[in-house]
Amino acid sequence: MKTISSIFFFCILETTAWGWARHNLLTPFVIEDVAWLKKAGEKVSASWILVHYTDEPDWGMDQNLELSPNQKFMGGTKGPTSQAFRHLYLKKWNLKAPWRTFHIPPREMGEALKRAQTFYDLAQTAFEGGEPYWAFRFLAWSLHYIQDLGQPFHSSQLLTPKFIAWDSVFNFEALIKRTTQIISNYHFMYEDYVVFRIEEETKHKLKKHFISALKGDTFMMSSSAYLIARHSADDSNRLSYAIGEACYTFFGDQFLNPSVDVPNSPKGKFPLAPYEQSSRLSEKEKTLFLKNTAKSLQKTAFYTRSLLELAKEEFLKK
Ligand SMILES: [Zn+2]
């Protein structure tokens, strides 16, 4: 047990937390039908501010901070990985979902829910103080955390037991190192692939699986940013096992190979184009990957719009 439980102690240390790789690519589709955002401000529209600044919390503001003893389990306190603590939320381990809730220590960890609320509150203060520009900039930050939580690699640490380096179970150090690397490999492939596919859908006449999942006008009524973030994390955690399994099948087992290190390889070393055309995969396998990812994106979009609805209700109520 010591061996298995300790894997997860180290796992996250080397996993960079970027959430969806490019929030600015997702957000325009998500808010396309949110009419009240289109009203132009003095210089720019609210939607422009939201699109341009949803990535801002990834630009360094949450790095190199000493905040909690839990940071040592979630990316440490130095460098790019140190922002993980504020961009992830891992719910408490639950026997009913032993894989997707597995992490050590098994308590609730990560500040992403609180961050969503903090910046929502700042947005409201700015709005009431007659600073709409800053209100939307803070709201963009709040959205960032809600969107991060919609990415299943950010609400679950292991996703599937297939990511465990089973060939190294008798060598403790190798087991930890390799499992960490395997999760990072699939995590990076997944985020890069989602960006790649959305760009392809924009440029070519591809079936718009991902773009149509992001678009829409559905939302839920909720009373706080914290609760919306919590729903976003819960839904994506629920999808994480399916996503982990689908990633394993879609990208293949080559990413279990010790010589493959996606995060530290030059961009383009693992081209993204072959996967959908691959004869290795059945149509059913391809569809399963696309369908589950579309579900994640659809939830991410849904909770983004739910936060905007809450802001509309509260900010514009007078
Ligand atoms: Zn992030």
Domain residue ranges of the chain, discontinuous segments joined by +: 19-64+110-155+181-315
2-6, 89-93, 128-132, 253-257 — which is least confidently predicted? 2-6
Q: What band does 12 get if pLDDT is binned at 50, 70 and 90?
A: very low
Q: Give the pLDDT confidence score for residue 99 in this predicted structure.
A: 82
**Confidence check: pLDDT of 37 > 90:** no
| Centroid of ligand 1 to alpha carbon of 156 (angstroms) | 15
| Centroid of ligand 1 to alpha carbon of 146 (angstroms) | 9
| Centroid of ligand 1 to alpha carbon of 5 (angstroms) | 26
Q: What band does 11 get if pLDDT is binned at 50, 70 and 90?
A: very low
Query: Cα separation of 261 and 182, whole Å?
Result: 8
| Centroid of ligand 1 to alpha carbon of 23 (angstroms) | 9
- Is the domain 19-64+110-155+181-315 a CATH 1.10.575.10 member? yes
Query: Cα separation of 13 and 9, whole Å?
Result: 8
| Centroid of ligand 1 to alpha carbon of 8 (angstroms) | 21
226 or 271, which is more confident?
226
CB 265 within 8 Å of CB 189: no
| Centroid of ligand 1 to alpha carbon of 13 (angstroms) | 16
**Confidence check: pLDDT of 76 > 50:** yes
| Centroid of ligand 1 to alpha carbon of 20 (angstroms) | 8
CB 281 within 8 Å of CB 306: no
Q: What is the pLDDT of residues 170-221, one digit of tens each?
A: 988 888 778 878 988 998 899 999 999 999 999 987 788 999 999 999 999 9
| Centroid of ligand 1 to alpha carbon of 144 (angstroms) | 6
| Centroid of ligand 1 to alpha carbon of 138 (angstroms) | 14
**Confidence check: pLDDT of 113 > 50:** yes
- The rounded mean pLDDT for the chain is 88
**Confidence check: pLDDT of 16 > 70:** no
**Confidence check: pLDDT of 288 > 90:** yes
**C-alpha angle 46-26-60 in degrees, rounded to nearest 5:** 80
Q: What is the pLDDT of residues 241-265, one digit of tens each?
A: 999 999 999 999 999 999 999 888 8
43 or 258, which is more confident?
258
Q: What is the pLDDT of residues 298-313, one digit of tens each?
A: 999 999 999 999 999 9
| Centroid of ligand 1 to alpha carbon of 112 (angstroms) | 9
Q: What band does 103 get if pLDDT is binned at 50, 70 and 90?
A: confident
Query: Cα separation of 247 and 194, whole Å?
Result: 11
| Centroid of ligand 1 to alpha carbon of 58 (angstroms) | 5
**Confidence check: pLDDT of 26 > 70:** yes
Q: Give the pLDDT confidence score for residue 210 in this predicted structure.
A: 95
| Centroid of ligand 1 to alpha carbon of 65 (angstroms) | 15
The beta-carbon contacts of 78-86 under 8 Å, at least 24 apart in sequence, are: 80/16, 81/13, 81/14, 81/15, 81/16, 81/17, 83/17, 83/57, 83/58, 84/12, 84/15, 84/16, 84/17, 84/110, 85/109, 85/110, 85/111, 86/57, 86/62, 86/110, 86/111, 86/112, 86/115, 86/145
